[in-house]
């Protein structure tokens, strides 16, 4: 909630996750919350002149908590969807992602999304992937509260495949999941990430304007380079 003591900067609670590499996760050494979303939201707050405090929770809780107005701002690699827009206002898109299939590195049976009919497909609870699996693959979604569990289930052979956001799959496959997971095929969807606000929040336009400035002044590009190396 905002504090409005005269002469003081307002302070807002930002709902986020702590296990969505490289957007928001806990630094292994310091235990601090770090990532692209964390840096971007901090830069937006600096630019717009307000203070923020991050509160980490499960992804499902962010969508619900913004919808009900419990939190002021949500940033969590959240895809802008028509369904969510019924309960949430979004900033302009700030990142282009998409969904992708990944399987065990030595799997030569599943070569595209068409091979998922009748298979068990792991993902994260409440994600756009869960809906995608149910509606488009003929496979059975198995949704976990933490995406790492979904990856581990595939690596250990308890699930046939995983579908999730490309940047997260790629980052995991090249770090923790090194050599054990491979992506297959083309991106299945386009996913535009937006910062979430309760319906009608005045903060949306304020944050959007700051975001535009950061996109124009090179700050966004620097953060992108830092986290995605391109
Ligand atoms: N982009 C997908 C969605 O909106 C997955 C986001 C997951 N983000 C997270 N912080 N766990 O459903």
50: three-class secondary structure by DSSP: coil
Does the beta carbon of 128 sit less than 6 angstroms from any atom of ligand 1? yes
Residue pointed to by tokens 């250990």: 156
pLDDT in tens, 90-122: 999 999 999 999 999 999 999 999 999 999 999
The 10 Å Cβ neighbour count of residue 4 is 8
For the chain, the residue count is: 230
What's the CA-to-centroid distance between 123 and ligand 1, angstroms?
A: 10
The ligand 1 atom nearest the CA atom of 193: 1
pLDDT of residue 195: 98
Can you list the alpha helix ranges (DSSP code H) found in the chain? 36-48, 59-67, 82-85, 128-136, 147-155, 166-174, 203-216, 219-228
**CA nearest 44: which of 73, 21, 64, 66?**
73
Cβ contacts of 223 within 8 Å, gap of 6 or more = 36, 39, 40, 43
Cβ contacts of 33 within 8 Å, gap of 6 or more = 16, 18, 24, 25, 26, 27, 54, 56
* All structural domains of the chain: 11-95+192-228 (3.40.190.10), 99-184 (3.40.190.10)
What's the CA-to-centroid distance between 60 and ligand 1, angstroms?
A: 9
Which amino acid residue places its CA nearest to atom 7 of ligand 1?
77
Q: Say whether the ipTM exceeds 0.90.
A: yes
Which amino acid residue places its CA nearest to atom 12 of ligand 1?
127
pLDDT of residue 1: 45
Give helix 203-216 / helix 36-48 axis angle, nearest 10°.
Answer: 110
Query: How confident is the chain (230 residues) per 10-residue block, as mean pLDDT?
Result: 65 97 96 98 98 96 96 98 97 98 97 97 97 97 96 97 97 92 96 98 98 98 93
What does the alpha-carbon distance between residue 124 and residue 133 come to, in Å, rounded to a whole number? Answer: 11
pLDDT of residue 215: 98
pLDDT of residue 113: 97
Which amino acid residue places its CA nearest to atom 5 of ligand 1?
127
Which amino acid residue places its CA nearest to atom 10 of ligand 1?
76
């Amino acid at each position: 909630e905002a504090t409005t003591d005269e002469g003081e900067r307002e302070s807002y609670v930002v709902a986020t996750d702590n296990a969505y590499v490289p957007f928001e996760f806990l630094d292994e050494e310091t235990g601090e919350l770090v990532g692209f979303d964390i840096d971007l939201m901090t830069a937006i707050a600096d630019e717009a002149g307000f203070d923020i405090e991050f509160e980490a929770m499960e992804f499902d809780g962010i969508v619900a908590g913004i919808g009900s107005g419990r939190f002021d701002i949500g940033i969590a690699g959240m895809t802008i969807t028509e369904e969510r827009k019924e309960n949430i206002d979004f900033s302009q898109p700030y990142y282009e992602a998409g969904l992708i299939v990944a399987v065990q590195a030595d799997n030569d049976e599943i070569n595209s999304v068409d091979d998922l009919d009748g298979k068990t497909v792991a993902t994260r609870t409440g994600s756009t992937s869960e809906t995608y699996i149910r509606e488009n693959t003929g496979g059975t979604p198995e949704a976990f509260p933490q995406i790492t569990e979904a990856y581990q289930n595939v690596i250990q052979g308890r699930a046939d495949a995983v579908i999730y956001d490309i940047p997260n799959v790629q980052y995991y496959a090249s770090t923790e999941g090194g050599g054990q997971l491979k992506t297959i095929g083309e991106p299945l969807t386009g996913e535009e990430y937006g910062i979430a606000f309760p319906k009608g929040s005045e903060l949306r336009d304020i944050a959007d304007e700051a975001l535009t400035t950061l996109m124009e002044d090179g700050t966004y590009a620097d953060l992108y380079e830092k986290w995605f190396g391109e």
